[in-house]
Structure 1
Amino acid sequence: MNARKREQPAVAIFRLLLLLAVACLAGCDKSPRLAALPAGSPVLAFGDSITHGTGAGPGEDYPSQLAASSGWRVHNAGVPGDTAATARERIGDTLQATRPRLVIVELGGNDFLRRRSEAEVKEDLRAIVRASRQAGAEVVLVAVPRLSLLGAISGQLPDAKLYAELASEEKLPLLAGIVAGILADPKLKADPIHPNAAGYRQMASEIATRLRDTGALGKP
């Protein structure tokens, strides 16, 4: 057997591995896509004081600004002090009242301040996600950092791991790093745990950009 014939099996294996790699890059790592929502569609922003807009004036909260840029009817269901556990109890009534086509879930910060375990928070969020889907809505998850004094001082506030885990398990689009990035920038904060008007403006802009990436929101 000559050298050329000996090389053929190795070349074939290499080509097969290359094709598998390309296929994985093309499809395996794709983020979940959402149905396009036309202007006027009902959208539910479901969360705590960050969704409510604490730290800024009326109309400066991110849901109001997202409504203005998207043309959607965004209902602000942010409750200051809410935990994922207490929000789980009100999601049913809120869904029935608003009948959204998309739910943007931002919760967990108050749970972390109360030192609840990430496992407990994840299961409460999972219940909210599943209730929303059962009501006919699609869901996106906004990741929240686990705040700490060291993180606040250093300006490094990584998202809690539970959000990436839940997004993977439930096949959800994950809006990662948005809240963490804002709370790491003193110019965008009203206090250590809330954005200011500029921070909410950036939050709305980044959420809109990510929703365009999912297909839910059309190009501006």
Structure 2
Amino acid sequence: MSKIKVITVLLGAIMLFTIMTKERDSNSLHIKLHSDATILAFGDSITYGFGVAEEDSYPAQLQKRTGIRVINGGVSGEESSEGLERLPKLLEQKPDLVILCHGGNDIIRKRSDEKLKTNLTKMVEIIKASGAEVLLVGVPNFGLLGFSTHSIYAEVAKETEVFFEEDVLSKVLSNNELKIDYIHPNAKGYKIIVDAVVKYLKTVE
């Protein structure tokens, strides 16, 4: 085989590999769900929709937006240790995706960061063991100087290799027009959370 043919074959192989890699990377950015799938939104008062009408909570808005069934698994005031105990029962409903947004009460009440990380990690492991995908939503480290996502969430997402929405909750809670009080979004704020979540979803036949 001549050098030109060898080079042509190599270039062809490189181009094919590049195309396949790009396609694989593109697919890895999305959580694929069938139209008859079930999503479990799991968390505390932010998931529950404290202070807004039931239809304005982010799980209700997400269901309306996507047409996919969304279970609201939020409990106001719950800490991560309580959520960890409650989660297995909800997983019996066989969700295809769990949106995990938990730990805000631990942070506000200044519970152990190490314990929060352990609880979040265990939640992710339990969810993955059930066969569901996980989208972890970062929670702010509520402080006097504003809202920035607690570093624990990026660590958990990286170590457990799950989808991670890092910024939306911090951005919403940094804007007084998007919340009803210091820590709870209003209907507009929840809509922005839904906007961020749907970017990760891809409905397939």
After TM superposition, the score normalised by the length of structure 1 is 0.78
**Equivalent residue for 1:124?**
119
Describe the SS at the equivalent of 2:88.
helix
Q: Quote the residue 1:217 is aligned against.
A: 202
Other-structure match for 1:85: 81
> What amino acid does structure 1 have at the position aligned with 2:202?
L
Verify: 1:110 aligned to 2:95, yes or no: no
- What is the deviation of 1:108? 1.0
- For 1:108 and 1:90, how far apart are their aligned partners in 2? 14
CA deviation profile, 1:107-145 (whole Å, cap 9, x unmatched) = 011001111122211110111111111111111100000
Contact persistence 2:134–2:162 (CA under 8 A): yes
Give the Cα separation in 1 of the matches to 2:63 and 2:91: 18
Q: Which residue does the alignment assign to 1:63?
A: 59
Any unmatched runs of 5+ in structure 2?
1-17
TM-fit CA distance, 1:35 = 4.7
Cα offset for 1:52? 0.4
Q: How many residues align?
A: 183
- The equivalent residue for 1:140 is 135
Shift of 1:217: 2.0
Three-state SS of the structure 1 residue aligned to 2:32 is: coil
The DSSP-based 3-state class of the residue aligned with 1:191 is coil
**Matched residue SS, 1:80:** coil
Map of 1:208 onto structure 2: 198
Q: 1:186 aligns with which of 154, 161, 176?
A: 176
Q: Per-residue CA shift, 1:87-108, capped at 9, x if unaligned?
A: 0001111111x21011000001
* Structure index of larger Rg: 1
Q: Is 1:198 aligned with 2:188?
A: yes
Paired residue for 1:73, among 52, 69, 72? 69
Q: Which runs of 4+ in 1 moved over 3 A?
A: 30-35
Equivalent pair of 2:80/2:102 in contact (CA under 8 Å):
yes
Equivalent residues of 2:35, 2:203 under 8 A apart? no
User: Match of 1:174, as an amino acid?
Assistant: F
- Identify if the C-alpha distance between structure 1 residues 198 and 128 changes in structure 2 by more than 3 Å, giving closer, same or farther: same
d(CA) in 2 for partners of 1:81, 1:105: 15
Partners of 2:133 and 2:143 in 1: CA distance: 32
| 1:34 to 1:201, Cα distance in 2 relative to 1, 3 A | closer
Deviation at 1:83, TM superposition (A): 1.1
Alignment identity in percent? 37
TM-score, length-scaled by structure 2? 0.83
Structure 2 match to 1:14: none
Q: Matched residues in 1 for 2:52 and 2:190: separation?
A: 8
| RMSD across aligned positions (CA) | 2.0
